[in-house]
Structure 1
Amino acid sequence: MNSFDIAQARVLADVKRERDAQDAIFGVQDLPDGTGGPLYECMANTVRQECDRAFEVGRGTFGDVFLEEVYEAMAETDPAKLRAELIQVVAVGVKWIEAIDRRAAE
């Protein structure tokens, strides 16, 4: 296992601990998704355009990418597509945390 795999495993273990803590506090929750609709579609388009612009001028950030993924998920109503978008949200979050940890180790 290389250092990137070890760092990622540590982040995923942190996520697992947080999920376990959430279940201990709240139990299993089956809430409605609360996604879709014109507001989230508009926000997704706006945030996507802002993210693209930020990267075009060399000032793109993890925050830009993360918000783009979040709003794309919030705009989605199809369960399979929503799941795929949420996987992207979590993956960007993990990547961002890995970058934070690398900076902290410097």
Structure 2
Amino acid sequence: MYPTLFNTPGLARFAEEIDAERSRQLDKFGDQRHPDGSGPTLGFLGRTIDQYVTVTRTVADRHNAADPAMTPWALILLEEVFEACAEADPTRLRAELVQVAAVCAAWVSDLDRRPAAAPAPSAAEENPEAACLRAMADADIASHPNRI
């Protein structure tokens, strides 16, 4: 019998699924090497990565102040991803990417513990912050389609 590697409930299953997915990626693409492309000068859709970090932190702080239990996973993950993308230092980038992976593990764990899948919210029920970010992105795409 192998020793227990993970103590967090559900993490062993999550790690096995990641391992299987990485194996599929290696089979399909081989061992890939890409530049990080991260750092404070990274930009897309007409904004710098630091602006995305600021927006997601502000929205997350507002959610947390009102009711931390109602902060959506998507917002938590985006904040971590944007923070990672803003890092140019490889050591700090790695630490941020580990935080991204931990948030993904927490979100998957939450999904796995839910009794039944809830229907997706309709456009009328959409979170105002999400609607605002979607409108900003749509406006940028419409006015600058060559940036995509």
RMSD: 1.7
2:98 alignment counterpart: 87
1:49 alignment counterpart: 58
Q: Which has the larger share of helix?
A: 1
Structure 1 segments (4+ residues) deviating >4 Å: none
Residue 5 of structure 1 and its aligned partner are, at CA, apart by: 3.7
1:65 alignment counterpart: 76
Distance 2:64 2:8 in 1: 27
Superposition TM-score, scaled by structure 1 size: 0.88
Give aligned-pair identity as a percent. 38
Larger Rg: 2
1:22 alignment counterpart: 25
CA deviations on 1:16-38 (whole Å, 9 max, x unpaired) are: 10111111100011101111116
2:135 alignment counterpart: none
Q: Count residues with an aligned counterpart.
A: 103
Q: Which has the higher contact order (CA 8 A, sep 6+)?
A: 1
2:127 alignment counterpart: none
Distance 2:95 2:107 in 1: 18
Superposition TM-score, scaled by structure 2 size: 0.65
Amino acid corresponding to residue 70 of structure 1 in structure 2: V
